[in-house]
Chains A and B, each alone.
Chain A
Amino acid sequence: MNIDGVRNGIVLDHISAGKSMKIYELLGLDKVKSCVAIIQNVKSEKYGFKDIIKVDEVIDLDFDVLGYVDSNITVNIVKDGKLEKKHHMALPEHLKGVIQCKNPRCITSVEQEIVHEFRLVDREKGVYRCIYCDAEHIVK
């Protein structure tokens, strides 16, 4: 299958196979007016299989969301057909409005307008804690 290269835009590479649709939704790519290609199950030397998303426009991306959902992703910014910048994702130190605290004793469980916030406490194990109640959330 052939899909054209991006001339001015973004290529999200090394997405874990099967996660591309989730990323498409979380980044709100359905609202982008230009051409968006989702390529699933591409053969990869490093990971076996991977997904790729190509966007034919440079848009603002929430790197925190990307890093949380899949820290393997690389974001390539392409300008005039050339790679201008490459970003490697990592678990972000803070997550705001990305995951929900599940502790029924947490203030966020009763006050809907509070934005759920987490801080990273163990990068190796992928452990986050709610900034309000310290409830644990482990990245799967």
Chain B
Amino acid sequence: MEIRNLINITDLSVEEINSLINTADDIVAHPEAYEDICRHKKLATLFFEPSTRTRLSFEAAMLELGGSVLGFSSANSSSAAKGESVSDTVRTVGCYADIIAMRHPKEGAPIVAARRAGVPIINAGDGGHFHPTQTLTDLLTIKRKFGRLNGLTIGLCGDLKFGRTVHSLIEAMLRYENIRFVLISPEELQVPDYIKESMDKAGVDWTETSSLDDAMPQLDVLYMTRIQKERFFNEEDYVRLKDSYILTPEKMRLAGENMIVMHPLPRVNEISVEVDDDPRACYFFQALCGKHIRMALILFLLGIKRQ
């Protein structure tokens, strides 16, 4: 069987994404059918960069499928600290595990890994580049909330330059019909040109603004992101930009009653905690969706189907 990897969300066809969403829903409907489905299978989580949610979500997903997990949670606790290359690390781990989920601070590291591992590689985030399993999470969340993935106006707010979740979500939504993007960011943190090129090529309607207030009434989805300190080389720039957008109950009054607020988490202060009680806030529901879709993805990449 040909080894499938997930490096970028575009590695999956729309049909495959729909199938993953269906499997995720089936997992919720029939948990007993999946509880032992990955028995004797091992997932390695190789996290060269710290993460709580993504790593635990992958581990929880594999454990709920009856499999086991191994790995490390920072580069310092791996041979990378001794100078080992990504290729050598994954080639070794590929001898121990059936599938690898990997996060690395350098962009493109999972591509290097996929050439050498001999087992499926899941990109769990490579620098500011791509984060496809977050995107699958986002798609499942939107589908569960709206019952569809087309005909939506999606506002993306915050760090759109380094925010990999934003880049992957745009790439994914380009393939659905009647999607409109409103890109809300300070000038310094606008989406990179190659993403704009992709949107233009796909013929998608998009606008850029620095005003969250102006954008709010138009949106079906408001996707908030954190201004990430670790992406800046210059502390001064980070301090200047970090409080650009803060979503408060006052701002929520500008939005429609069916709009949903999403966030890949962790948040710092870009969504005030008072918004958490608003029924339109669905970022913790999103975290739950993340586990379900990762379960579906592990099954898909391992070629395992429910009997």
Using a CB–CB cutoff of 8 Å, the interface residues on chain A facing chain B are 103-111, 113-114, 121-122, 129-134, 136
Contact = CB atoms under 8 A, between A and B. Distances in A.
Interface in B102-120: 104-109, 111-112
Interface of B: 85-87, 104-109, 111-112, 126-129, 192-194, 197, 233
A106 B106 contact: yes
A114 B107 contact: no
Interface of chain A, main secondary structure: loop
A105 B107 contact: yes
A136 B192 CA distance: 10
Given A111-B85, A111-B86, A113-B85, A132 B108 contact: yes
Nearest to B128: A105
Contact of A114 (B112, B127, B128, B193): B112
Nearest to B115: A114
Given A113-B85, A133-B127, A133-B129, A107 B194 contact: no
A121 B107 contact: no
B179 to A, nearest CB: 21
Nearest to A132: B108
Given A107-B107, A111-B87, 15 more contacts: A104-B233, A105-B127, A105-B128, A107-B109, A108-B108, A111-B112, A113-B87, A114-B112, A122-B197, A130-B108, A131-B111, A132-B107, A132-B112, A133-B127, A136-B193
- The 6 lowest CB-CB distance pairs between A and B, nearest first, are A132-B108, A133-B107, A107-B106, A107-B108, A107-B109, A133-B108
A132 B85 CA distance: 15
Contacts of A134: 107, 129, 192, 194
Contact of A106 (B87, B107, B192, B197): B107
B112 A107 contact: yes
B106 A109 contact: yes
19 contacts: A105-B105, A105-B106, A105-B129, A106-B106, A107-B106, A107-B107, A107-B108, A107-B126, A109-B106, A111-B112, A113-B85, A113-B87, A114-B112, A131-B111, A132-B107, A132-B111, A132-B112, A133-B108, A134-B107
Contacts, number: 53
Contacts of A104: 233
Interface of chain B, main secondary structure: mixed
Contacts of A132: 107-109, 111-112
Nearest to B162: A105
Contacts of A113: 85, 87
Contacts of A108: 108
Contacts of B104: 107
Contacts of B129: 105, 133-134
Contacts of A105: 105-107, 127-129
Contacts of B193: 136
A132 B86 CA distance: 13
A129 B105 CA distance: 19
A108 to B, nearest CB: 7
Most buried by A among B87, B128, B129, B197: B129
Nearest to B194: A134
Contacts of B128: 105
B112 A136 contact: no
A108 B112 CA distance: 10
A129 B85 contact: no
A133 to B, nearest CB: 4
A67 B227 CA distance: 41
Contact of B108 (A106, A121, A122, A136): A106
Contacts of B194: 121, 129, 134, 136
